[in-house]
A and B are shown apart, each in its own frame.
Chain A
């Protein structure tokens, strides 16, 4: 924290020499050794460190893949297969990179839901939250462009569907679309610019991560009670306490990661992406990767025009709106209490919100006209029941209501439970309860 004085004392001559010229060792010491962390952080707080690990793994494996990859519409698919077959441990590097993207999103969703549950976006952490949202948005863009690079069927048609969304913007949309695609269809120019941006954006993410950590170290970490640090008794130094706990969580995370990479490397992929892109043969079922499915469901949930606004534009607006609302969260929550531990009503709306997100994800992977369950059959014997698109609409309404109605309204109406006076009090109370 900013009011925490530096305790770094350079010992050797070279440390003193460097410290008076560029206090970089001091910065690292103050940030990652002596930095005071709330002593009641639980394992949901280990995902920040895990995410740094994910970014590092993606950048490292990505740089090596780029040495062997060919960004050309005719050669890209075979160059990826060459990595899998002939490059030394190329299969390992590519499977780590491809599954790493999924693991990265898995971790970021836990990190975001944790922030949501414990109110980590509330004052004074609004800028910290906004920076996190920017990272998430950049991650989506990077992952999307990365998925296009192997130039399989799903890569190609994913790029077609997503870039065409821009075309829904009135008046200027079609011109922007041509400019983005570098032509009148997704083709070699699109692949080349996506490769360029896919290499660039991770370093932009790394830059924003530095700002994110800086902002974190200015305001200090939130904690499960949502009560700010009041005294030294509330904290423990980052090293060794947080480092060993983060390290343990990282190892368990890596075990899950390894199970996918070594034993089910294609489980999260799609068979169609092992078919080279063919602009003349549209796959029967175009789906994005699992981590984008909830937003894809929201996009496809809007099947009706409103007045002069066509359904497609509404769908695109809803999809981007769903992401934009996450940015606005700090100003939508009216509650005085941060942690949902002390918000008996809101925490249940939160549980429903998590279920709604998972449900939207499931809907995103289905065809909109599939049935969630059938109730009866029509005269021709076709089953009738709840269509996936109707469930998507229902869940999308809850998604938006959660941010726009429930957050502001419940915050004003709810009677929160008594909040502990300090972190130490909460820890002592938990001990007393355990001993009972």
Chain B
């Protein structure tokens, strides 16, 4: 029975392999538009952040996003640490960086007076966290038609597609297609993950891609005035703030990649030496 069974099994294994290779292609596409590729400078194993872009992105965050979105994991000092938007090699300790000090001093934070125990507000220092726009979740909900604006500290890691998704979504708001029922407090966006079939009144074969979210389109041409003279188009702003958020979510990314190159070069060298030893030891023993 060996040869017959072997042949049958070989065919079965071959078919299974071919089937598995072709299956993926046939799966129906997901219900959202794939994010555009924004060709960020930090992509790839050798990519690094563009400091000017991070500065522009911080400006967008501060002047637009921070009205509703907290970044509670970020401290002002982070802005001046190595790889950060305001890093200056003259100030190894970011707490000494005058730009960072200046930014912090523009904010007020809540504190307790150490002498009286009274609740006070004081000027922020470099070691303070970014203050949150709302006192608590209830206040955030009340001001945003029931939706809590998500914290942006690690947002590019928390969304499939990362910075490309964030930039595409921010620049990708569109008027809802005719036939799609969108509540007054909601806004249509083709990049958002959502299922629209139930609110779609048109041809069931052509349910629009995307979803709705409570955030109105936050950015527009010339929403901010860049200090470095870059023209503030919608796309530029979206990319800049996405780059800033990517850095904020993974501030050690550049250091990580640089270390990775050294580690892998070292391991390759070790592999070479060990392979030579292996050949030597096993000579004539195979």
Contacts and interface: CB of A to CB of B under 8 A. Distances in A.
A262 B259 contact: yes
Contacts of A84: 252
Interface in A244-268: 244-245, 247-248, 251-252, 254-255, 258-259, 261-263, 265-266
Given A255-B267, A345-B6, A413-B1, A372 B16 contact: no
Interface in B89-124: none
A355 B13 contact: yes
Interface residues of A, number: 58
A373 interface: yes
B16 A359 contact: yes
A272 interface: yes
A109 to B, nearest CB: 17
A237 to B, nearest CB: 11
Contacts of A358: 20
B13 A39 contact: no
A274 interface: yes
Nearest to B78: A85
B10 interface: yes
Chain B's interface size range is: 35 or more
Given A251-B274, A259-B264, A271 B159 contact: yes
Interface in B1-37: 1-2, 5-6, 9-10, 12-13, 16-17, 20, 22-23, 26-28
B260 A355 contact: no
Given A244-B274, A262-B257, A414 B2 contact: yes
Interface in A72-122: 78, 81-82, 84-85, 91-92, 95
A349 interface: yes
A44 interface: no
Contact of A258 (B2, B5, B252, B267): B267
A81 B281 contact: no
A255 B274 contact: no
Nearest to A272: B158
Given A244-B278, A262-B257, A352-B13, A81 B267 contact: no
A371 B205 contact: no
Contacts of A258: 260, 263-264, 267
A344 B3 CA distance: 8
Interface in A316-373: 344-345, 348-349, 351-352, 355-356, 358-359, 362, 370-373
Contacts of B67: none
Contacts of B277: 244
Interface of A: 39, 78, 81-82, 84-85, 91-92, 95, 236, 240-241, 244-245, 247-248, 251-252, 254-255, 258-259, 261-263, 265-266, 271-272, 274-275, 284, 344-345, 348-349, 351-352, 355-356, 358-359, 362, 370-374, 380-383, 385, 413-415, 427, 431
24 contacts: A85-B251, A92-B259, A95-B256, A236-B285, A244-B274, A244-B282, A251-B270, A255-B264, A259-B260, A263-B45, A266-B157, A274-B249, A344-B6, A345-B9, A348-B5, A348-B9, A348-B10, A355-B16, A358-B20, A371-B27, A372-B26, A373-B27, A374-B26, A374-B28
**3 nearest CB pairs, A to B:** A262-B260, A348-B9, A373-B26
